[in-house]
Each structure stands twice: as C-alpha cells, then as structure tokens.
C-alpha cells in the first residue's frame, strides 16, 4: 500500500491544486471517487490487466466513467492511464480527501461506544474535540457491544481510549511497574 501511496501522492496533489484553483473541490472529489470505484471493479481490473493496447484501455475506461467526468477529469484519467497508474486511483482519492480536510481545517473522528450516542452527547463531544484539535470535527460514530463503557476515539494518529477496558489495562500496567 505504501508504494501506491507514493505513486498516488503527486496525482492527488495536482488534482487538489487544480480543484482549489477552480473552486471545484466537491466536484473533483466526486470525479475521483467515481473513477476510483471503477478502478476497483473486478471486471475493470481484469480488463486493465489484459493485453489490450494502452489507448484502447484508456478509451474504454473514460467511456465507462462517462458523464461522471468532465473534460479535465477525463484528461486526468488519461494521464494516469498513460503512466499505468489507474490502479492507484483509490489511493489518490484517500490522499485527495486528506488534502481537502487539511485545507478545510476539518478532521474526521471515529468514535466507538457501547451504545448509540444521543444527539446532545455527540454535540458536546464535537465541541470538546473542536477545542482540542482546533479544527472542525466530523464524527463517525459506531457501536461495539464489546465495550463495557466509555468511548474509543481515533482522529488520524491520535487515539483516546476512554473505555473501561482501556482504563483497567492501564491500571494493571501501572500496578505491575
């Protein structure tokens, strides 16, 4: 995966810069997302690895994407195809999303709890996390019944384990030290 990330980074940066210049971040995100979905399709993956000519592969790929790509999006896909990089489109999408979140001063926070959080609890959590991260926070809440109580919060590289299990593990470690 790290090889794909390395390959995808300049494409994501170029697409992001172009989207910012043209005020089309949402549009470019949608186009790259669609092209990445096509790249991960099993039938398309088989076709891309076939012995067809590069030009034919590129034309078929652009036709499959159809009206989902504007002229600039088609040129972007053609450039990636010419360089044999269509398989990197999902990584381009992920990196594009990271650049966009950073640009918009937004962070996506994964929150796992034992029960579904109420709207009021989510709002309070968003407020506290926005203060901590100095960014706009978007919550993705999930429920894991294996958690006895508390929250497990993950934002990028930052992990806050406020679960009962996490507290017990830290206490046990402290007692053993």
- What residue ranges define each of the domains in the chain, with the CATH number in brackets? 2-101 (1.10.520.20), 105-176 (3.40.30)
Euclidean distance between CA atoms 156 and 94, whole angstroms: 13
Residue 17 pLDDT: 93
Q: What is the mean pLDDT of residues 96-109?
A: 86
With a CB cutoff of 8 Å and minimum separation 6, the contacts of 24 are none
Sheet containing strand 158-161, strands side by side: 136-143, 106-113, 151-155, 158-161
- Closest by CA to 114, choosing from 165, 167, 169, is 165
- Closest by CA to 73, choosing from 122, 11, 121, is 11
Q: What is the mean pLDDT of residues 63-81?
A: 87
Euclidean distance between CA atoms 4 and 85, whole angstroms: 9
DSSP 68: G
Assign 4 a pLDDT band (cuts: 50, 70, 90): confident
DSSP 117: P
Q: What is the pLDDT of residues 126-164, one digit of tens each?
A: 999 999 988 888 899 999 988 888 899 998 788 999 888
Assign 51 a pLDDT band (cuts: 50, 70, 90): low
Residue 133 pLDDT: 86
Q: What is the mean pLDDT of residues 82-101?
A: 88
Give percent above pLDDT 90 in the chain: 33
Is it the case that residue 53 has pLDDT exceeding 90?
Answer: no
């Amino acid at each position: 995966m790290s090889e794909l990330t390395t390959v995808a980074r300049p494409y994501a940066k170029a697409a992001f810069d172009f989207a910012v210049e043209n005020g089309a971040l949402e549009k470019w995100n949608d186009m790259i997302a669609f092209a990445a979905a096509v790249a991960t399709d099993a039938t398309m993956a088989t076709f891309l690895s076939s012995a067809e000519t590069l030009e034919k592969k590129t034309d078929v790929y652009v036709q499959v994407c159809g009206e989902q790509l504007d002229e600039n999006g088609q040129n972007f896909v053609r450039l990636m195809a010419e360089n044999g990089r269509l398989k990197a489109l999902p990584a381009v999408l992920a990196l594009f999303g990271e650049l966009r979140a950073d640009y918009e001063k937004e962070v996506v926070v994964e929150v796992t709890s034992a029960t579904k959080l109420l709207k009021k609890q989510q709002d309070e959590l968003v407020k506290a996390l926005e203060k901590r991260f100095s960014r706009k926070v978007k919550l993705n809440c999930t429920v894991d019944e294996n958690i006895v109580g508390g929250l497990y919060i993950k934002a990028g590289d930052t992990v806050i384990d406020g679960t009962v299990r996490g507290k017990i593990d830290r206490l046990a470690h402290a007692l053993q030290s």
